[in-house]
Amino acid sequence: MTNEELKTHLLSLIPQATFVETGEFLEIFIHSENILPLMKNLKDDEKTQFDYLFCLTCIDRISSFEVVYHLLSKNYKHILVVKSTISNIENPQTETVSHIWKTAEFHEREVYDLFGVKFINHPDLRRIFLEDDWKGFPLRKNYSDPNMIEL
Amino acid sequence: MRGLIEEDYTTQEGEFVINIGPQHPSTHGVLHLKVWLNGETIIKVQPHLGYIHRSIEKMSESLSYRNFIFATSRMDYLAAHINNEACALAVEKGLQIEAPPRARVVRTILAELTRLSSHQLWWASTGLDLGAVTPFFYAFREREAILDIMDETCGARLTQNFLVPGGLMADIHPNFQKRTKEVLKQIKENFKEYDELLTENVIFQNRTKNVGILNKQDALSFGVTGPTARASGLSCDIRKWAPYSAYSMVEFDEILDEGCDSYSRYMVRMKEMRQSVNIIEQLIDNIPEGDFQEKTKNVIKLPKGDFYQRVETPRGELGVYIVSDGASSPYRIKYRSPNFSNLSVLPELAKGCKIGDLVAIMSTIDLVIPDIDR
Amino acid sequence: MNRIFLYSFTEMALYIHKLLENAITNTVLLQITELAIIGVTLLISLVILCFFLGWMERRVAAFMEIRLGPNRVGPQGTLQIVADTVKLLFKEGLTPNKSDKFLFNLAPFIVVTASMLAIAPLAFAKNFSIYDINIGVLYVSSVSSLSVLGILMAGWSSYNKYSLLGAMRSGAQIVSYELSVGLSLIAIVVLSGNVSLGEIINSQQNGWWIFKGHIPAIIAFVIFIIASTAEINRAPFDLAEADQELTGGYNTEYSGMKFAMFLLAEYINLFIVSAMAATLFLGGWMPFHIGDWESFNKIMDYIPSSIWFMGKTFIIIFIIMWFRWTFPRLRIDQLLNLEWKYLLPISMVNIIIVTLIAIMGWHF
């Protein structure tokens, strides 16, 4: 599917979604509550078949968290970037997609470790890089550590 | 303390837990695998990561677009040049410039030389892991020659740091073409020795065939890339899917194998080395004249937006995701490292294997730990 | 006197014996003195032998691996191993806190003792052995299997799961490969009709068993080499150590001289296995003779018997080293499959054929 076709298809799924097309890939912005049904649909729908999640990460936008999913379909070779916004910055949480793409399990653990975003229903949500008793989440913009050196 | 707070040492009757790593000869670094065993048979594997987590992503947020490239040499240190290339390409994508043809071709040649040297180290350590010490020295014979070329042209053997956004840092050394051709000739002659020493060995084939079967669906679902996925018949070569640098100029095959086991992963890499030689041969005599660098401003500022660049490292797909807010250093950088995803499939593969198989699987997946931990 | 020392170990031994007989009149004291002399000589020569084997292994490995190997300390690097031994001597011998300290310290001695015991009936030259016991073959095969006790002890007492796994592997491995070693030894016992090593060597006066025994003897020889390599835990059968899997297996926790004792035992075992192969299949100290080529046989006889014995032994040692440095390691189930599904059935059939040959007198 071309970006335009993808866009119309996605709009039929989530009418309130917004799009950005200036970048290399088509980006769709949704709210984190809608993430699970959309992702299931994107994976299972014959027309989209996004069977390969090649990157999952998070961006701290100060006022919100943005979980970014880079999706690719091996069959149709189209790429879609899903950005789900989590507005609750006190206790950010969103649904896991690890049962849809197994690679998400490790990537979500990484996001949890470095951003503190909790993934609901994740099979094994523990810190992955840092020690279990580490205080804070280093990749958040407001993270500070007494040992940190300003460059 | 790592793994002590949420400690899980629960075992069934007859089982016991053994910690392989963080210091262990066959984990190639500081990977820590907690392994549940029943006798010699593996029940469960749980990887523990982060022993050399240096938070390169956090560091990069305060480095300029010229400087953050060089931190990536320390991720996958066996393919430092390719990591640098990914970052340089991502920044170029943001600046909407393209490196001059000379730089693109030299980048590709250096990338393929890197791939050759990386695969040679992998071959050496695969032999070593399976108990054959001798292949190590045969592989290092050619690897040394390649690293010498790197030393001459880039000024460093392992962490080349030869790239800047917009091209190369300097022009190639006058000896570059001559020496590369000599090395290629030597390597092509010595492939036969590689096969005689390890590939055709019956013990080696028994150790790797039907060990660690990774089917195509799992490979795709776990995001496994590189030769590991291609051995399961999954086409994922970024050089074919989204050509960058000079890969659209050359003809080469994407090696696919339907074997799905450790032996086919081994064979894919062996064949890929031949393809790399093939690519370099096509380019080495056709390096275009001209500039080696596109002029860029002293302080690079990327426009607001996201830039994603995928490249094919010897271990799989490396993604560099730059989020820019218009400043002179990135707002957020994410490295989608191939080893991180490839590691996540290890617990699946190792289930029901013997300890010896675990070593064979780990070495044919070809993990580089600093790339996992970043 | 020079002549004596040059030509024959037997005459040298007799000369010393006479010398002592004149000096000490008490027979018991004489016996004890002689035993002590033999013991000390044996120990010194074994240590020298192990030094040489250690050097040889490094140089052979270097030769296989297109590099030079040790060549700085002493002529051609021969003293490198001495330097290493001195280093090991000065290292602290650590004992893990929770280990069974008595067994932990005892294990290396058991391993070394077991391997040294097996030296006794070997004939190093013509009529020159420490004690040509009349059941030599049985004695060697039973004593050499004692070393598994030491290895199990080392693994169990180390309080380390890697060590324990290594020891268990070693137990399974040595117990299974013992069968094949025994059966291939029996092939020669059947052919020669003797269990004494001296008699077996004498029976090869007109040709070595590997030539006289037709194909079954060759099969027995090959099986013996494979199985005994497994029995002494050398690559490709070094699963008990398996550096890359078990980080050293049963000797993970050992350091300093106690570790060196395991190394010493490994080299002594290597020597014994090769010497046994040379004795049983290649005629021991017997020179190489071809039928009735009188002059050729005469020339061969001029080469001292000790050189024949050592030459054959070191050729076999070289072969064992050769495949150590070229083959990958087997997996534990493949190792046991190889023994129980291939080597053991083949040796059993082989024994039947050998017996048939012996009964019908088909051998030369």
CB spacing of A55 vs B308 below 8 angstroms = yes
Say whether residue B142 is in contact with chain A using an 8 A CB cutoff.
no
Q: Which residue of C has its CA nearest to B135?
A: C65
* Total count of domains within chain B: 1
- Neighbouring chains to B with at least 3 Cβ pairs closer than 8 Å: A, C
- The proportion of chain C whose per-residue pLDDT surpasses 90, expressed as a percent, equals 4
DSSP state of C188: H
Distance, CA of A30 to CA of A33 (rounded, Å): 8
At residue B7, the pLDDT reads: 59
DSSP C265-306: HHHHHHHHHHHHHHHHHS-TTPPP--TT-HHHHHHHHHS-HH
From C294's Cα to the closest Cα of chain B, the distance in A is 44
| Sheet of strand A26-31, all strands in order from the earlier edge strand to the far edge | A18-20, A26-31, A79-86, A65-72, A52-60
Q: Do chains B and C touch (3 or more CB pairs under 8 A)?
A: yes
For residues B276-285, average pLDDT: 89
Say whether residue B145 is in contact with chain C using an 8 A CB cutoff.
no
For residues C197-209, average pLDDT: 81
CB spacing of B221 vs A25 below 8 angstroms = no
* Tokens matching residue C332: 């534990």
Tens of pLDDT, residues C126-184: 777 777 788 888 888 888 888 888 888 888 888 888 888 888 888 888 888 888 888 88
Say whether residue B220 is in contact with chain A using an 8 A CB cutoff.
yes
Say whether residue C330 is in contact with chain B using an 8 A CB cutoff.
yes
Q: Which residue of C has its CA nearest to B129?
A: C244
For residues C259-274, average pLDDT: 88
**pLDDT level of residue C303 (50, 70, 90 thresholds):** confident
pLDDT at C3 over 60: no
Residues from chain B contacting residue A53 (CB–CB below 8 Å): 223
Three-state DSSP class for residue A140: coil
DSSP B148-205: HHHHHHHS-SSS---EETTEESSPPPTTHHHHHHHHHHHHHHHHHHHIIIIIT-HHHH
Q: What are phi and psi of B37, to 5 degrees?
A: -120, 150
CB spacing of B203 vs C328 below 8 angstroms = yes
Is residue A30 within 8 A of residue A17, CB to CB? The reply is yes
Residues from chain B contacting residue C165 (CB–CB below 8 Å): 18, 40, 355
Cα radius of gyration rounded to whole Å, chain B:
21
Task: List the domain range (segments joined by +) for residue B191.
Answer: 54-373
DSSP state of B369: H
Q: Which of B9, B20, B130 to mutate to test the interface with C (most CBs of C within 10 A)?
A: B130
CB spacing of B332 vs A59 below 8 angstroms = yes
- Neighbouring chains to A with at least 3 Cβ pairs closer than 8 Å: B
Q: Do chains A and B touch (3 or more CB pairs under 8 A)?
A: yes
From B354's Cα to the closest Cα of chain A, the distance in A is 24
* Tokens matching residue B373: 């931990």
- In chain C, positions 160-199, which contact chain B (CB-CB < 8 Å)? 161-162, 165, 169
Say whether residue C68 is in contact with chain B using an 8 A CB cutoff.
no
Q: Which of B344, B346, B374 to mutate to test the interface with A (most CBs of A within 10 A)?
A: B344
Q: Do chains A and C touch (3 or more CB pairs under 8 A)?
A: no
- Under 8 Å CB pairs connecting chains A and B tally to 98
Look at phi and psi of residue C256 and say left if phi exceeds 0, alpha if psi is from -120 to 50, else beta.
left
CB spacing of C244 vs B357 below 8 angstroms = no
Tens of pLDDT, residues C72-88: 888 888 888 888 888 88
Domain boundaries, chain C: 1-90, 91-360
At residue A151, the pLDDT reads: 61
Residue B3 lies in a domain: no
**C315 vs A148 pLDDT, higher one:** C315
Beta bridge partner(s), residue A80: A26, A71
Q: Which residue of B has its CA nearest to C166?
A: B40
Per residue of chain A (151 residues), give pLDDT as tens.
777 777 787 777 777 778 887 778 888 888 888 888 888 888 888 888 888 888 888 988 888 888 999 988 888 888 888 888 888 888 888 888 888 888 888 898 889 988 888 888 888 888 888 887 888 888 888 888 777 776 6
Residue B167 lies in a domain: yes
Is residue B69 within 8 A of residue B77, CB to CB? The reply is no
From B358's Cα to the closest Cα of chain C, the distance in A is 9
From B208's Cα to the closest Cα of chain C, the distance in A is 10
Residues from chain B contacting residue C239 (CB–CB below 8 Å): 356
For residues C49-60, average pLDDT: 89
Q: Which residue of B has its CA nearest to A143?
A: B58
Q: Which of C159, C252, C327 to mutate to test the interface with B (most CBs of B within 10 A)?
A: C327
**C303 vs B162 pLDDT, higher one:** B162
Angle, CA of C235, C241 and C247, to the nearest 5°: 125
Say whether residue B305 is in contact with chain A using an 8 A CB cutoff.
yes
The ipTM (two decimal places) reads: 0.88
Q: Can you list the domains of chain A with their CATH numbers?
A: 3-91 (3.30.460.80)
Beta bridge partner(s), residue B24: B29
Is residue B105 within 8 A of residue B288, CB to CB? The reply is yes
CB spacing of B317 vs A52 below 8 angstroms = no
Tens of pLDDT, residues B7-17: 566 777 778 88
For residues B136-165, average pLDDT: 88
pLDDT at C6 over 60: no
Tens of pLDDT, residues C333-361: 888 888 899 989 999 999 898 888 888 87
CB spacing of A57 vs B218 below 8 angstroms = no
Distance, CA of B204 to CA of B193 (rounded, Å): 15
Give the nearest partner residue to B58 out of A25, A128, A139, using CB atoms: A139
CB spacing of A81 vs B2 below 8 angstroms = no
Residues from chain C contacting residue B203 (CB–CB below 8 Å): 236, 327-330, 334
Say whether residue B266 is in contact with chain C using an 8 A CB cutoff.
no
Tens of pLDDT, residues B184-229: 998 988 888 888 888 888 888 888 888 888 888 888 888 899 899 9
Q: What is the CATH number of the domain that holds B115?
A: 1.10.645.10
- The proportion of chain C whose per-residue pLDDT surpasses 70, expressed as a percent, equals 97
* Tokens matching residue C362: 């088909």
pLDDT at B20 over 50: yes
